[in-house]
Amino acid sequence: MKRILSYVLFLALALEASAQITILDVLKKSGVLSTASAQSGVVREALLPSLSIIRQQYRLQKGEDYYGKNNLPYYGESYSLAVKVAGGTLFLGDVMRPWAGDADYSRANASGNYVPSLFWTYQRMLSDSVYHSIDFELYSGPSPYVQPLNADSSLYIHLDKKADLGLCLDKGLGRKNGYMVWACSRTSTKDSAMTVDLRLSPLSIAVSADSVLVSVSPDSPEKIIGGVYVVPIYESGGRVQFLLAGMAVRNGDKAWSLQLLAADGKGSRGGITKSDITRSMAKGAGESKADSKKKRRK
């Protein structure tokens, strides 16, 4: 048994800081990962470097004046899960609208005299306890670096140039056999010092172009700050890579839905798609076969 554990430790130290880890099936055969809790720990360690909490504060504005609450510089704040992916960071609509679902804001602004205004943004890795100020460029209007990923703007991406860091995306259609991983606070979702547990459960989904939003029902939804759906891809050399296939988005105050990242097929039904054809190429492409023959005869 000591020899097996030493082998596992050597493999863990040799892995890169990504969502890759030694294949689960190989370790199961050795008896090291024979329990569900042990398998959960492996998935947790693989995902942890890419998961963080976004703490988004806001204040109230009336004319040129800003207002906080209880002598604080901000009126309220939200805490939600974010995921580092290749080329950006996925985050929830909570970051863009932290006042949504805030009962104090609803009461204070029942008359509509105030306008909510985004204030400071902080980020804390799940593996850390310290928040760091970050700039998602949310304050000066629309940004080319911040884009909504779905129709109701409940999921966004902040683009960056770090393509070699974070989870790779799984946008394919068809049957997926993966894991739903929920980030759950042990105390409250408004606790800045919250300790977050990752709850893991197997989830098999048939992804089609007409259904990229799936209803999900986590336990204790009032303590959930977000969730991800990851799919293991087994590679040569004894490794498995976890791809991000979906992210949980809010569907009401305490309800959640799984937003799959697969293409929704709208492009094939008249949606806007990118065109790389130049004007001269488009002119030629618009000709009929008869026109083309006439030109050749000339």
Question: What value does the mean pLDDT take over residues 12-31?
Answer: 46
Asked if residue 116 belongs to a domain, the reply is yes
Q: Is the pTM of this model over 0.85?
A: no
Residues 6 or more apart from 21 whose CB is under 8 A from it? 12, 15, 42, 45, 46, 239, 240, 242
pLDDT digits over 211-247, tens only?
A: 899 999 899 899 999 999 999 988 887 788 899 999 9
* Sequence-distant (≥ 6) Cβ neighbours of residue 122 within 8 angstroms: 54, 55, 56, 57, 131, 132, 133, 134
Report yes or no on 179 lying in a domain: yes
Residue-level pLDDT at 59: 96
- The answer to whether residue 23 sits within a structural domain is no
Lowest mean pLDDT among 22-31, 42-51, 171-180: 22-31
pLDDT for residue 179 is more than 50: yes
Residue 43 φ/ψ, nearest 5 degrees: -65, -40
d(CA 172, CA 140): 35
Does residue 13 lie within any of the structural domains? no
Full residue range of the structural domain in which residue 158 is found: 48-269
Look at the chain and report how many structural domains it folds into.
1
Asked if residue 51 has pLDDT above 90, the reply is: yes
Give a yes or no: residue 7 inside a domain. Answer: no
CB-CB contact of 195 with 189 (8 Å)? no
pLDDT tens digit sequence for 70-109:
999 999 999 999 999 999 999 999 999 999 989 999 999 9
Residue 286 lies in a domain: no
Residue 254: its pLDDT value, please? 75
